[in-house]
Amino acid sequence: MAKKTTINYTEATAEIDRILARLRSEEMNVDDLAADVKRATELIARCKEQLFKTEAAVDEILK
């Protein structure tokens, strides 16, 4: 069984940027649009989660 890895913040934002670039340059195939929008939504949620965790950790350190 393959080990599942979690994408980090930097990798997630880079992938979001690639998706956005395809959308802006009209390279996006209509058949891939829904899948890419879903993936971008998942990545954005992951980034938000990481930001909230980091903020909480920094708040705890500064207490």
Give the model confidence (pLDDT) of 19-41 as tens digits: 999 888 877 788 888 999 999 99
Residue 25 CA to residue 27 CA, distance in Å, equals: 5
* Mean pLDDT (the chain, rounded): 89
Domain boundaries in the chain?
9-62
The token pair at 19 is: 């998706």
Helices (H), 1-63: 9-24, 30-62
CA distance 19 to 12: 11
Which residues, in sequence order, are CB contacts of 33 under 8 Å at separation 6+? none
Which of the two residues, 32 and 3, has the higher pLDDT score? Answer: 32
